[in-house]
Amino acid sequence: MSDDESGEAVGPGASASGRGRLSRARVLAAAVALVDRAGMPALTMRRLATDLGVEPMALYRYAAGKDALLIGMIEAFYAEVNERLGPVPPDVDWRAEVHRVAAVFCAVADRHPALLPLVIARPLSVPLARRPTSMLRLNERFLGLIGRGGFDGAQALWIYRALVGWILGYLLVDKRQIVDNPDEPEPLLRLGLHRLPAAEYPRLRALAPLLAEHDAPAELAAGLDILLDALTARR
């Protein structure tokens, strides 16, 4: 888990409740909890201050504004991933560890699905060196694993981009399947696909059971294996 300026742990697991001393860790945890509960549109400095039991102006010591708060939430997301991963085992198989990183990232995305579009898209507007340190640490870890596989330089970067692109792309597509009616047991109705004309969208309608019920971690891992096999074969 990463640390903030006051030495306090930063991550979505930090306590967001109570009326204790305000800290950056507590502000970020409360922001993540609010988005988990009510979605990204609900996040405002005023609503966050209400959740924390403080005046809105008190938050600006820990986040200069909404943009800074969003970057802080990305930091908290990656901090949780890093905390769950722990140190890289000294003699780990690099491919097995790539799979573990992907699985942990998937688990954290499952816990905070409303954060995922922010986590994927927002850093693209920030220069690499100014992105959250927890994100850079995970990037460095991934590159180190690829280096253990015997790749370096341009080849390592190519493999890194391919693997990260698959992981983020798969999760973004998977998590954007919004359920239309969560209480409806019939997949076609639960996803709202019954509203699509059968003659125009036969494939989407036929895939409703698979879209509604699938093993995302297994599909993610299978895709990683296909990529890793192809990429290492080209070495």
At 44-58, the pLDDT tens digits run 999 999 999 999 999
- Specify the pLDDT at position 177: 65
Count Cβ atoms below 10 Å from residue 12 Cβ, excluding itself: 23
Q: Is 61 exposed, middle or buried (0-12, 13-18, 19+ CB in 10 A)?
A: exposed
pTM: 0.83
Confidence bin at 3 (pLDDT 50/70/90): very low
At residue 218, does pLDDT exceed 70?
A: yes
Confidence bin at 191 (pLDDT 50/70/90): confident
CB 24 within 8 A of CB 10: yes
| Mean pLDDT, rounded, of the chain | 88
> Which among 5, 54, 51 has a CA at the least distance from the CA of 32?
51
- Specify the pLDDT at position 164: 95
Domain ranges of the chain: 2-176, 177-235
Q: Please give the single-letter amino acid code of residue 182.
A: P
Query: Quick one: average pLDDT of 206-228?
Result: 90
At residue 86, does pLDDT exceed 90?
A: yes
- Class of domain 2-176 as given by CATH: mainly alpha
- Specify the pLDDT at position 10: 46
Confidence bin at 176 (pLDDT 50/70/90): low
Rounded to 10 degrees, the C-alpha dihedral 121/147/218/169 comes to 20
Radius of gyration of the chain (CA): 20
At residue 185, does pLDDT exceed 70?
A: yes
Lowest-confidence pick of 6-20, 45-59, 111-125, 174-188: 6-20
Measured distance CA(99)–CA(101) in Å, rounded? 6
DSSP-based three-state secondary structure for 2:
strand
The CA–CA distances, whole Å, from 95 to 55, 108, 219, 221, 226 equal 49, 20, 16, 11, 12
104 contacts: CB under 8 Å, gap ≥ 6: 81, 84, 85
